[in-house]
Amino acid sequence: MERDELGDGEEGEEEEYDYEALKEAGKASYAALAYGKGLIKPGASMLEIAESVEAHILGMGMEMAFPVNISVNGNAAHYTPSFDDASVIPENGIVKLDVGARKGRYLGDCALTVDLSGSHSGLVDAAQAALEAAIGMVRAGRQVCEIGAEIAKVAAGHGVVPIRNLGGHGVERHDLHASVFIPNFDNGDTTELEEGQVIAIEPFVTDGEGYVREGETVEIFQKVGRAAVRSGETRAVAAFIDENYLTYPFAARWLHRSMKGVSEFAIRKAIIELAGAEALEPFPVLAERRNGMVAQAEKEMIVEKDSCTIVTQ
């Protein structure tokens, strides 16, 4: 990976936004999502799926925007397997696959849901229909609360509810969750979309309460600062993160796979120390508060004057 100090050019200059690079990242993300969908079968290893999709992204000449998320049933987001994860796709699972490729500073992000049970197709249909309806509303000047209201309306029409403390987001160079929040209900936010802005619309719907809580499992982290640490092994892990992942989210298993000769215990200890010093931000698994089933659909797009251009397709 290139060493990049995350600047936008020389001091006083602003680099022109490279929409072609963004579209390449989006196209690769969508291709990886389609590839991963074909791997989701009852009994399939979640670790093998995640690593196969990640290898697929790297094989297209891209980097990872974030670790592959495979969230099952009531888990809505942020589940990525550990290095020795023995979990498999359950026989009747409802599986969310969330994938992102990166080209330089430009990030792709897209997601879908697979219903293996045959009994939650209405939930999956609701997420997809809400996404399509929301995309149809996107244009410069559109208030984000209007998009949220449409998502909630479509969800209600399918007999389910949106998850109110999750939503879509702006996407900027280096920053996957930036600039604007796209709610899944009318939250009263009158922020207007701007022409040329990049956003991801991400309806989450559930037959549960409509809120997520943080779980105990944490396998995804992101560098957010520096910390003075005493342990040599922790300093080595921090330096490796700096050199290889910059400020992009990474999976703990990536460290185990790449840092040969460093024990899993030492890696976990370093992560705990760095997170405790607020040098790393943890991303716990997010689960529906009343254990309701969750479906997700997501696409990334460029806001245009009167519509939008989908980049994850």
Query: What is the structure's pLDDT at 308?
Result: 98
DSSP state of 298: B
Q: Whole-prediction pTM value?
A: 0.93
Query: What is the structure's pLDDT at 7?
Result: 43
Helix (H, G, I), strand (E, B) or coil at 215: strand
Query: Cβ distance 143 to 191 under 8 Å?
Result: yes
Segment 130-143 mean pLDDT = 98
Query: What is the structure's pLDDT at 227?
Result: 81
Segment 203-219 mean pLDDT = 97
Span 4-22, pLDDT tens digits = 334 444 344 567 899 999 9
Active site residues: 98, 109, 169, 177, 202, 298
Q: Tell me the sheet residues that pair with 206.
A: 161, 294
DSSP state of 191: P
Domains (ranges, CATH) in the chain?
19-215+286-310 (3.90.230.10), 218-284 (1.10.10.10)
CA distances (Å), origin 241, targets 32, 212, 221, 222, 254:
24, 29, 10, 9, 10
pLDDT at 175 over 90: no
Query: What is the structure's pLDDT at 177?
Result: 87
Nearest CA-CA partner of 72 in 297, 298, 296: 296
- What distance in Å separates the CA atoms of residue 100 and residue 68, rounded to the nearest whole number? 7
Query: Cβ distance 101 to 63 under 8 Å?
Result: yes
Nearest CA-CA partner of 218 in 52, 81, 47: 81
- What distance in Å separates the CA atoms of residue 54 and residue 88, rounded to the nearest whole number? 17
pLDDT at 81 over 90: yes
pLDDT greater at residue 261 or residue 155: 155
pLDDT at 278 over 90: yes
Q: Tell me the sheet residues that pair with 117.
A: none
In angstroms, what is the C-alpha Rg of the chain?
Answer: 19
Residue 257's pLDDT band (cuts 50, 70, 90): very high
